[in-house]
Amino acid sequence: MTTTQLALRDRTQSLIGGEPSDANLNRYLHGIPGVDAVGLEQRAAGLGSRSIKTTSKAWALDRIISLIDLTTLEGADTPGKVRSLVAKAMTPDAADMSTPRVAAVCVYGDMVPYAVEALGSAHSAGRDDGINVAAVATAFPSGRASLAVKLSDTSDAVAAGADEIDMVIDRGAFLSGRYGQVFDEIVAVKEACRRADGSFAHLKVILETGELNTYDNIRRASWLAILAGGDFIKTSTGKVAPAATLPVTLSMLEVVRDWHRLTGVKIGVKPAGGIRASKDAIKYLVTVAETVGEEWLTPHLFRFGASSLLNDVLLQRQKMTSGHYSGPDYVTID
């Protein structure tokens, strides 16, 4: 077991009062207060109904762009499509060079080299003004593979230049109560995110909330992912309905808030899948600000996993500048 894995186990042991076994994790996770579903949904609806001023909307649109993981995750992806995606990430609106760049491009692991090459000097390399390359891994989207395959999937993407890894948890193991197995897999994947220089690619843990069935399960899975070393918790793969919803994201943000109060450590949140309109994305910004604070509205702590959202934001942004909407050929088709 590596130093990192031992450190994660030690931290977890101190919090749950023992080894991260199924029994101890079950006792700890089921000891977390249950979710008031009605209250959660009412609060999400209230936050989603907030109106913002025109000046705030202009800021919000730019902030949304800067928080987007521009994504293509299709079996028909090609190097050419990835290069086109990168070009859009670098210059979202060629007619307005004041438009912010997105936070990252998100692709399958075998597409990482093409994304890194296309980004060139725009590749983040840890800079605040750069664009990250995120790779989905661990037999995305199902997670149905051996641990050896999942770790190889992850380490290959990191070796190819991925800055971030979006892994999927084993939902079958989680729903069966095999929390120790889920914990151990996340810890192992975190170790596989280690680069040659000893630093780590950031790990986003996808819960696939649409398959977890209840808010209580989503809360427990969020705690489990953080205990095991996830840097971000992410709602969905985008391949299962329902994907991201405002109540689910609010529930995950509350876990992040409580973790920060408990440990002082900030964890990121990424709603992904189904967020296509600017007006909906703004609701998420409000929810983040009201739940964990505006300091979370940075690419280091909040992302939108999206492909078509950027187009709508660009159209809304152009409307605020010119007073009218552009035609359908104003933005590229993803």
- Write out the catalytic residue numbers: 166, 234, 270
Q: Which among 210, 141, 222, 148 is positioned nearest to 185, based on CA atoms?
A: 148
Pairing status of strand 68-71 against strand 164-168 = unpaired
Cα 231 from Cα 224, distance rounded (Å): 12
Count Cα neighbours of 55 within 13 Å in the Cβ-side half-sphere. 0
Listed in order, strand segments (DSSP E) in the chain are: 68-71, 104-108, 132-136, 164-168, 202-206, 232-234, 268-270, 304-306
Angle at 188 between CA 187 and CA 192, to 5 degrees: 120
Cα 34 from Cα 251, distance rounded (Å): 11
Task: Point out which residues pair with 270 in neighbouring strands.
Answer: 234
CB neighbour class for 31 (10 Å; exposed up to 12, middle 13-18, buried from 19): exposed
Cβ atoms within 10 Å of 320's Cβ, excluding its own? 11
